[in-house]
Structure 1
Amino acid sequence: MKYKVVAFDWDGTLVDSVDHIVRSMKQAAAKMSLDELPDERVRNIVGLGMTEAIQTLYATLADQDVDVFRSHYGEAFFATEVGARDLFPHVNIVLEQLSERGVRLAVATGKSRRGLDIALKSTGLQQYFSIERCADETKSKPHPLMLNQIMSELGVQPHEMLMVGDTDFDMEMAQRAGVDRMGVSFGAQPRARLEKYQPIVVVDSLNELAKHLMG
């Protein structure tokens, strides 16, 4: 294996949760009587930290209203559990194969720590990951800090790490960190958005990802 560490985004990469995020964001906006935005516009913020996502969609909101929005979003999102049934096909198999090859796995996500901890437990994926970084404990994507922290913690250099994600935030973060990147076409953003950041490949399934990495 070329890479000692593979870092995965969460929503839209490992878990088919983008539509649920969009619905939850729109429910939170409706509770605050904010303008209803098109689904595509809301999809474009998936991957950012929640505060950054809200401020991107509703730039004039005061800080206290951003906090209220976050609360409404959390109520809507956690009202329905996102669990093992929502994993993209073959997630467990691919993570198991990489682990058996000695690759250390990480999560780099725009989710909150609370949200990721719940998701790790509900999906049963916590066993695979050596380290996770969330937007509320570091800087939001596309800032490279969370990848730099993962590399520092695991003692690897940029050329020894791969970032896998479904948004241009993932691709830009990896590019800024000097890390190779692989896009997935089945998440929040279309292939063309990812290809602007020169990923080594954009795959259409996790099986294809595994074949590319392991031959």
Structure 2
Amino acid sequence: MMPPLLPPVNGQLRLVVFDWDGTLMDSPRRIIHCLQRAAVEIGAPVRDEAALRNIIGLGVQAAVRELYPDADDHFVERFATAYRACYLEAEDAPETPLFAGVAALLDWLEAREVLLAVATSKSRRGLDQALEATGLGGYFVATATGDEHASKPNPSMLEYVMARAGVEPVRTRMVGDSVYDLEMARHAGVPAVGVTHGVHPPQRLESAGALALLPDLDALLEAFRQAEGDN
């Protein structure tokens, strides 16, 4: 039997860990654009959108190796450098707004003294830039990035933020939009919630062991409210 949305002992949720791209921020279009531009820049075959959506959620180097299985280390680093430059600096790349409902969800959790964290495959520079641009940095007690930890689905970054927060897996929930988020959570012993407004379809998230699937963050907030009322 899957654990409930809230922990079974008195509903005492202590930590919610969010993925960033495709979960809190609507950035997949920019990611795809910059992956394709990086391929053109270094003279590599350009992968189609379906292939690129499939690897969003992995760290950039792991993603490049998935897209180009025969690539050597030099190719991977050139591609990753070109991709990061585009994502962080390109003025003609698609914008990356927050998804609707982010502030309401974070405020509701914070008001209940639930700790918040981020575990993302973004680089530290990329996450810091996003936190500053959105003004969300003050919400999170811990953050972990793809250039500081092994790529998802390795549980390293999730285990790190739980250790920083001092919260055990049973009182933690992971929220993500990719199978890599959910698989990371499973490896760390953390129940995970999938949001389907991101990169991977509901069928894939369900097969990866999602505790619940919600269409967006407004629905996730409502699910938390309903779960609270049941306790």
Which category of TM-score, normalised to the shorter sequence, fits these structures? over 0.9
Q: Which runs of 5+ in 2 are unaligned?
A: 1-10, 227-231
Q: Does 1:88 align with 2:115?
A: no
Look up the match of 1:206. 217
Look up the match of 1:18. 28
8 Å contact from structure 2 (residues 24, 98) kept in 1: yes
1:167-182 equivalent positions in 2, closer than 5 A: 167-182=178-193
Superposed CA deviations along residues 123-144 of structure 1, whole A, max 9, x for unmatched, are: 1111111100111111110011
**Which residue, out of 101, 105, 119, partners 1:108?**
119
Alignment-mate amino acid for residue 13 of structure 2: Y
Normalising to structure 1: TM-score of the pair? 0.95
Q: Percentage identity across aligned positions?
A: 40
8 Å contact from structure 1 (residues 82, 123) kept in 2: no
Q: Secondary structure at the match of 1:194?
A: helix
Q: Secondary structure at the match of 1:106?
A: strand
Distance 1:183 1:125 in 2: 21
Distance 1:197 1:47 in 2: 14
Q: Does 1:146 align with 2:153?
A: no
CA RMSD of aligned residues (A): 1.4
Q: Does 1:31 align with 2:47?
A: no
1:28-177 equivalent positions in 2, closer than 5 A: 28-78=38-88, 79-80=90-91, 86-177=97-188
Distance 2:132 2:86 in 1: 19
Instruction: Report which of the two structures shows the higher radius of gyration computed on alpha carbons.
Output: 2
Normalising to structure 2: TM-score of the pair? 0.89
Q: Which runs of 5+ in 1 are unaligned?
A: none
8 Å contact from structure 1 (residues 82, 122) kept in 2: no
Distance 2:214 2:223 in 1: 9
Q: Secondary structure at the match of 2:141?
A: strand
Superposed CA deviations along residues 20-49 of structure 1, whole A, max 9, x for unmatched, are: 100100000011111121101011111111
Distance 2:78 2:126 in 1: 17
Residue correspondences, number: 214
* 65-74 vs 39-48, greater mean Cα deviation: 65-74
Alignment-mate amino acid for residue 168 of structure 2: Q
8 Å contact from structure 1 (residues 90, 206) kept in 2: yes
